[in-house]
Chains A and B, each alone.
Chain A
Amino acid sequence: MKLVDHFQYGLNSPICLTWELTYACNLACVHCLSSSGRRDPRELSTAECKAVVDELQRMQVFYVNIGGGEPTVRSDFWEILDYAISHDVGVKFSTNGIKLDKKRAAQLAATDYVDIQISLDGATAEVNDHVRGPGSYRTALRALENLAEAGFQQPKISVVMTRENVDQLDEFKAIADKFGAQLRITRLRPSGRGADVWDDLHPAPAQQRRLYDWLVARGEDVLTGDSFFHLSAYGEALPGLNLCGAGRVVCLIDPVGDVYACPFAIHENFLAGNVRSPGGFREVWQSSELFAELRRPQTGGACGGCQHFDACQGGCMAAKFFTGLPLDGPDPECVRGFGEQALVARDASTEIPRSDVDHSRSAPRNSRGPVPVTIGVGSPDGPSARPDRACDTSPLAGFTAPA
């Protein structure tokens, strides 16, 4: 059996674990994958976060991708970071840069096992701030400057590819080079607030093609978190696992401890359990029914007969789900155009699922869960919380795919 086939049936522990520490965020990006904004009163306490780290150490999860919200607005963020690092759990955290002043940058430069990912969704302030909000470009660049000045080695610049910035790829690369950073580009998915803007912001078909060509030509030291495997159907497979890792090698722990199959799938259908339940995270990862289901062999469905299925696998589960397409059919951005046809064929009877987890500052305060605080396994109907920032988490970021 090929290694990738083993991955389909699940691993003892995740390879790519995203942990969103808070729903609070100083920004309000229009495409936030977790509809973040306000803190959730049920968020894990410092002690609970440390207990999660202990569990990850026992499970030999060697690093986690920490995000939010904006994780650094938690006052105990640095404490949790240090705790993780000293317990053999390396940290890569995603930030908009708000707290990365010179002093903090110097401190981070002196710390091992920390990676930093600064979100930037436009190579110019105009394009970036349109999506991420006024002043956010300057904040990100200042953080990059501070890190470079402090000698922090190779931070990542993380870009969600949109219709407005695909044509800036070379400029993004130049910015990364200027700051000694590594470029990371990921796919815009219709998750969280991303659902509201996806139609207008996701790259047009011709742009997808340019993106693919750019990756093949210039992508050698560009990270993608394996996000574009659906584009492999254009020709040669892009480096990476080429597999939807949801619940198999990927998962999300959200700020209230809910465990979802993927950071882009904050919806009760993909809620596997909660780390506060008796068996903790290990029990959820190893024994939840949902994950068992996701690890069963999947059929190709409508994609089964496609000559590209091996490389493309029908694309991203979350992208299909939140656009109301069948999970076993083509991706909405299928390079053969079947996704677009399916989108057009949707009608009034098509149910387009929405997450019930919304911490947007613009949302009515009770729109999601601050219902009575039930601590325990997230039940399908129970309060669940929606994750956070759109995108920084790339399922298989930074790891060398095996042959």
Chain B
Amino acid sequence: MSTKPPPGSAPEVGPADGFDPGSAYRRSPSVALRPEPFGALVYHFGTRKLSFLKTPQLVDVVRNLERYPDVHSAIAAAGVEEAQRAAYLKAVAGLAASGTIEPRP
């Protein structure tokens, strides 16, 4: 995998859209992840959309979100380099916008 960042294929969003990396998220219960050599294929049973997580680290982030108090720590725990943080944050924001992940109740 190249060191090029952004995974996810969802539109970009910022905090203004309600994404808050300081709070707790989880993978949406309507979403399944299928491991693939590049990362994972994401299927949303609600919207029936396919998308992709383009790095194994992003897959880790999504899988493990549930175990961390906020997005920042999930990203750190996946071993994402400092230089890549912003790109990952943006990708995760996109995943929130597409409904792949959602705030944890």
Which residues of A does B touch, CB under 8 Å? 1, 3, 6, 9, 11-13, 15, 60, 62-63, 88, 90, 113, 399-400, 402-403
Contact = CB atoms under 8 A, between A and B. Distances in A.
Given A11-B41, A13-B34, A62-B32, A402 B49 contact: no
B45 A15 contact: no
Interface of A, helix, strand, loop or mixed by DSSP: loop
Given A15-B41, A15-B50, A90-B48, 4 more contacts: A11-B37, A62-B45, A400-B49, A402-B52
Interface string B23-44: 0000000001011111001010
A9 B32 contact: no
B99 to A, nearest CB: 14
Contacts of B37: 6, 9, 11-12
Interface of B: 1-2, 9, 32, 34-38, 41, 43, 45, 48-52, 54
Contacts of B54: 3, 402
Given A90-B48, A402-B52, A12 B36 contact: yes
Contact of B2 (A1, A15, A402): A1
B82 to A, nearest CB: 23
B32 A402 contact: no
A400 B48 contact: no
A12 B35 CA distance: 8
Contact of A1 (B38, B43, B48, B50): B38
Nearest to A60: B34
A138 to B, nearest CB: 31
B27 to A, nearest CB: 15
B56 to A, nearest CB: 12
Contacts of B45: 62, 88, 90, 113
B9 A403 contact: yes
Contacts of A12: 34-37
Nearest to B10: A400
Contacts of B38: 1, 3, 6
Nearest to A16: B50
Given A3-B54, A62-B43, A400 B9 contact: yes
Nearest to B37: A6
21 contacts: A1-B2, A1-B38, A3-B52, A3-B54, A6-B36, A9-B37, A12-B34, A12-B37, A60-B41, A60-B43, A62-B32, A62-B34, A62-B45, A88-B45, A113-B45, A113-B48, A399-B50, A400-B9, A402-B9, A402-B51, A402-B54
